Structure 1
């Protein structure tokens, strides 16, 4: 069983007497992670809210009734909690009345979680996003990381795909791309047009690494710009895509506010365009590598507790940087390249942000550049590739 990095994040939350809320797409391993955490307790209780009996026993109950239901357990897991009406109120009652019992809650929709779980638990909980498997989680040593990175860039990181052959994983991912997105990803109360959503996903799949213009998408789809914005917001809340906005502090030198959109799992992205060829023979290898690196950086940062704001940058002279991070007034710029050609240093960015750090990320150094730990008082510079 693969040990998840998020486990080290969950345990401190529980030890502080807070409710741990794990959210993320279905089949990313939330249940497995919850059971891994539960294994360290003497009398854990696992409640699956896909079971109607569980739902009935958690709905509209008093604190005493809830305690009677869970018994003398010393740890409670409530899986897929968004299925229970007003589950947030029930969790608040249970937590406030019996604070010594640790609670771990999982859910598959941030929209449902916000409405039904997180809001009533404000000040009593910490939310933790669980991503698909990371390259650090599946690699036992540094030499194996590049081979695993290339695999993740093609078939993605859903745990159920990892032990399958390439052909079997491709079949399963095609099925997931059709069924998961349209059946499991959205709340039943969300109204959407399946054809528009499918066409939008196709367009986004071909645009990873490029700026996305909502007005252009609306023309291609034959819908309003507002509809495009709403659907992309839904896709983000369903853990299918994520957005990067432009880093823009000099209004004259830097261009307007567009955005880039990346996929949280590249296996789903490749299923949408029906292309599972190896990375080294693909025309879109550079875009896939860019999505992979930004996603892996995002996974890594989610386990560190650091407050980092992520962007991309370009100016009116067509200079660009794939990833810009702003952390406590410290700026790091990552240029991501899959090929051997060295990128040109973005001189205008350096002039605008002279105290920033410029880092080139490629297949030979991604382990050292994306996953480095930072000292408490400063950012240490790497040798090579920096100004």
Structure 2
């Protein structure tokens, strides 16, 4: 290696001191301490503190959802618990100054900067770790070599992170998924918790605890705003960004993933084709696709399409939902599937904000509700679609029990009160429940709540905004069980 390209150690140490001001001040920068914590913080922080199991935490998620902020909030919590500030290290791997260094090399420079004798009971945070080639091998070695030190890594190029952490870090890494802002978090961050109260709903023959609202009109107004602008913490609080959300999301999120992260990680050559394909998917979020139709409409070969879908899903830009039939049986050959944006406000950024009465509203409500489930990746969510003679049936969301391959529940997502007034029109949902011996199902509405019974099957109606809020709330209450 040409030594003229190497940066002197003193300069790197200067950078480390700049990145770790608490070594001297015992405080994180006010630009982070002034920001509200995400509700997911309380689920994440125990992983940081866990020291009985020798594992690194890999914090994954899309760009701009608050991973770096969450790391600084974790550092702040450690400082408040009186952990020695000179045993807490933060390193932003995306800084080119570290380009020729391994993780252990950087740790040794931290040790030199602080004149430490050894590493013991330390906390080391590596931000944007995917910028280091073979990061998972480096991190695994550190976990094995420094058993008394806790390592936390974060990254946005989730395609590489997810694959490498499962393939190479078996038994050494714990993945933690940070999704886009949930609707519950959005309400909390905007200090609108007064709109919600703890109540109960009738579901089948039992009453279950549920968060309800005093003012569904106000909640729906916020839900619409969430659909358009709510997935990113910065956008929620900045009217300036909202006025040009397309520029913010395109430049800072879509372009960096599509034009930089994925091509560099996977050697994608035609980035413009990938960009066009993603735009096509975003416009049609919530629709059913087939490889044949996609290939015909986009002009892209089927094998290339499959690769693009795999990349975009791994990068947390889209979620692919596979299909089951009326009996919740998986189809042996995948010919069609649904594709959803992981964040409905991505569509606003690419096109324009949607209004409550727009035709796309139904698909966007579906997209928003599906995005609330992102942290619970292990759930086997599908949708059901089948043909019965000349008629087609569909149920929007189905959870299948992986052990006995039977459906646990089905949900029909509507942005309308029509089916509350005419529940007998829910023919597909009724047929699905009968075929699987299910006595109850949930249907979302615009603003109506209640239970309607059709031939011994009870349909519980809940406003879509209330249902979206509760998915986030239940996920957090489940905590580390998720």
Q: Fold-level match, TM-score > 0.5? A: yes
1:351 partnered with 2:434: yes
Change (3 A) 1:220 1:366: closer
Q: Matched residues in 1 for 2:430 and 2:176: separation? A: 38
Measured in 1, the distance between the counterparts of 2:46 and 2:253 equals 35
Q: 1:68 to 1:93 in 2, by over 3 A?
A: farther
Is the aligned partner of 1:6 residue 2:1? no
Alpha-carbon distance, 1:91 to partner: 1.4
Measured against aligned partners, the alpha-carbon deviations of 1:156-193 in whole angstroms (never above 9, x if no partner) come to: 41222111223133442344466334334415142131
Q: Distance in 2 between matches of 1:176 and 1:236?
A: 18
Residue pair 1:82, 1:117 contacting (<8 A) in 2 also: no
**CA contact under 8 A between 2:361 and 2:415: conserved in structure 1?**
yes
Distance 1:280 1:351, change over 3 A: same
Q: CA deviation at 1:256?
A: 6.8
Structure 2 residue 167 is the aligned partner of structure 1 residue 84: no
Partner of residue 26, structure 1: 63
Match of 1:122 among 167, 170, 187: 170
Once the two structures are overlaid, the 10-residue window that deviates more, 234-243 or 62-71, is 62-71
Superposed CA deviations along residues 80-120 of structure 1, whole A, max 9, x for unmatched, are 11111222222122211222221110011233224655533
- Matches of 1:22 and 1:250 in 2, distance apart? 37
Task: Give, in angstroms, the shift of residue 38 of structure 1.
Answer: 1.7
Counterpart selection for 1:147 from 196, 221, 240: 221
**Residue 265 in structure 1 maps to residue 343 in structure 2:** yes
Q: Which moved more, 1:63-72 or 1:344-353?
A: 63-72
8 Å contact from structure 1 (residues 87, 117) kept in 2: no
Q: Contact (CA 8 Å) 2:327, 2:436: kept in 1 or not?
A: no
CA root-mean-square deviation:
3.1
372, 383, 397: which one aligns with 1:312: 383
How many correspondences in the alignment? 369
1:283-362 alignment, distance < 5 Å: 283-299=359-375, 301=376, 307-316=378-387, 317-327=391-401, 331-342=408-419, 344-345=426-427, 346-355=429-438, 357-362=440-445
Point out where structure 2 has 5 or more consecutive residues left out of the alignment. 1-34, 197-214, 420-424, 448-462
CA distance in 2, matches of 1:53, 1:311: 45
Tell me the secondary structure at the aligned position of residue 188 of structure 1.
helix
Shift of 1:77: 0.8
**8 Å Cα contact 2:291/2:302 also seen in 1:** yes
Distance 1:88-1:323 versus aligned 2 partners, 3 A rule:
same
Contact 1:254 1:314 in 2 (8 A): no
Please report the TM-score for the alignment, with normalisation by the length of structure 2: 0.68
Q: Partners in 2 of 1:46 and 1:64 — Cα distance? A: 13
Query: C-alpha displacement at 1:240, in angstroms?
Result: 1.0
- The alpha-carbon distance between structure 1 residues 255 and 112, as it changes in their structure 2 partners (threshold 3 A), is closer
Contact 2:91 2:127 in 1 (8 A): yes
Q: Structure 2 CA distance, aligned partners of 1:13 and 1:225? A: 41
Question: Does the residue aligned with 2:348 lie in a helix, a strand or coil?
Answer: helix
Distance 1:251 1:330 in 2: 6
Q: Match for residue 180 of structure 2?
A: 132
1:48 shift after superposition: 0.2
Determine the C-alpha separation between the residues in 2 that align with 1:340 and 1:363: 6
1:52 lines up with 2:93 in the alignment: no
Provide the rounded CA distance (Å) in 2 between the counterparts of 1:187 and 1:74: 35
